[in-house]
Amino acid sequence: MAENQSYYVPASSPWPIIGAIGLGLIAWGAGNTVIDMTNNQDGYGSTVLTIGIIVMAVMLFGWFRDQINESMQGLYNDQLGNSYKQGMSWFIFSEVMFFAAFFGALFYARVIAVPWLDGASNNVMTAEVLWPEFVAQWPLTKTPGGTETQAMGWYGLPLVNTVILVVSSVTCHFAHVGLEKDNRKQLTAWLGLTIILGCIFLYLQGAEYIHAYEQLGLTLDSGIYGNTFYMLTGFHGMHVTLGTLMLIIMFLRVVKGHFTPDNHFAFQATSWYWHFVDVVWICLFVVVYIL
């Protein structure tokens, strides 16, 4: 709560409306791209999408540049810092709920939908009439419709990736400690290592996808097992990509001498985001790969 300090109200800015235009172009372009792809036609969808992404990138660059300049000029006070921290926490909570939708779909399919298709609960006749041959199992390697696939094991690449991501969370924390102790060397080294680990994770995840597609026949459209596998690991991978980009930006800012032990919200937010991505992966590793 505000004690006897006066408030800081940011000046008006062109970036939000540019961001809205960018987001609008992305949504419109993405929608049309998908429609064009399905109809096998050339349309303006992908062009609009590309322009939207460029506008969005320019907006992010400009908005953050202004923000960083204002912060470096010391315009911000503790109260605004608190607002940022709380805002970031609630944003991460919203991300948790986004993943919850897909974890929920996985649980529902595994515990309810697939057994029901094999006649569990009060569905004996449904199973008899629709797909008498179908046998419930998880991972669902043969769908009622007859698509076959192989399951992804948890050892090998996924286990290595788990270790890498957990270690990267620890190195990210060491970097943060280095920043708080004003030990720039420690900060730079551990932050750089975190970025490298993030990139290795993404590379291995790509290798795993290629292995799944080429050797296991595990594809996005190979039934509910493949669906949940790719949607969960895919959205997680997108979040790791974003997190890595954020870490790289933090690294560049650290090199430029930004952040002080008491004023480093951007770094803190990035580190929270990175830990969040790590926690999601641990849930994912247990639920998608091991169980």
Q: Tell me which residues in 234-253 interact with other proteins (CB under 8 A).
A: none
Q: How far is the CB of 12 from other proteins (least distance, A)?
A: 4
Residue 108 found at the interface with other proteins (CB under 8 A): yes
Nearest to other proteins of 3, 214 (CB atom): 3
Interacting stretch for other proteins, rule CB under 8 A, among 116-124, 183-191, 197-205, 208-216? Answer: 116-124
**Site membership for other proteins, residue 77 (CB under 8 A):** no
Q: Is 125 in the site for other proteins (CB under 8 A)?
A: no
Query: What CA–CA distance (Å, rounded) separates 240 from 193?
Result: 15
The angle, 0 to 180 degrees and rounded to 10, between the axes of the packed helices 157-180 and 224-255 is 30
* CA dihedral sign of residues 83, 89, 91, 93: negative
Other beta carbons less than 10 A from residue 69's beta carbon: 10
**The dihedral formed by the CA atoms of 223, 226, 228 and 229, expressed in degrees to the nearest 10:** 170
Q: Which is nearer to other proteins, 147 or 188 (CB)?
A: 147
* Interacting span for other proteins (CB under 8 A) from 143-151, 244-252, 274-282, 283-291: 143-151
| Site for other proteins contains 86 (CB under 8 A) | yes
Q: Residues 189 to 218: which contact other proteins by CB under 8 A?
A: none
> What is the C-alpha separation between 146 and 223, in angstroms, rounded?
9
Length of the chain equals: 291
Q: Is 272 in the site for other proteins (CB under 8 A)?
A: no
Indicate the residue among 175 and 224 with the shorter CB distance to other proteins: 224
CB of 96 to other proteins, least distance (A): 8
Phi–psi pair at 164, nearest 5 degrees: -60, -45
At 12, give phi and psi (nearest 5°): -65, 160
Least distance to other proteins from the beta carbon of 84, Å? 8
d(CA 14, CA 281): 37
Q: How many helices (H) and strands (E) does the chain have?
A: 9, 0
| Distance (Å, whole) CA 180 – CA 175 | 9
165/232 with CB nearer other proteins: 232
With binding defined as CB under 8 A, does residue 124 bind other proteins?
A: no
Among positions 24-53, residues that touch other proteins (CB under 8 A) are: 24, 26-28, 30-32, 34-35, 37-39
Among the listed residues 197, 135, 121, 142, the one whose alpha carbon sits nearest the alpha carbon of residue 166: 197
The nearest distance, CB 125 to other proteins, in angstroms, is 12
CB atoms within 10 A of CB 211: 14
Nearer to other proteins, 15 or 285 (CB): 15
User: Which residues within the stretch 216-235 sit at the binding site for other proteins (CB under 8 A)?
Assistant: 220-221, 223-227, 231
Contact flag: residue 129 with other proteins (CB under 8 A): no
Q: Read off the DSSP letter of residue 10.
A: P
Rounded Cα distance between 206 and 228, Å, is 17
Looking at the Cβ atoms of 251 and 281, the one nearer to other proteins is 281
| 93 contacts other proteins (rule: CB under 8 A) | yes
Choosing from 53, 56, 58, 105, the residue that interacts with other proteins (CB under 8 A) is 105
For other proteins (CB under 8 A), the number of binding residues is 74
Residues of the chain by 3-state class (helix, strand, coil), percent to 5: 75, 0, 25
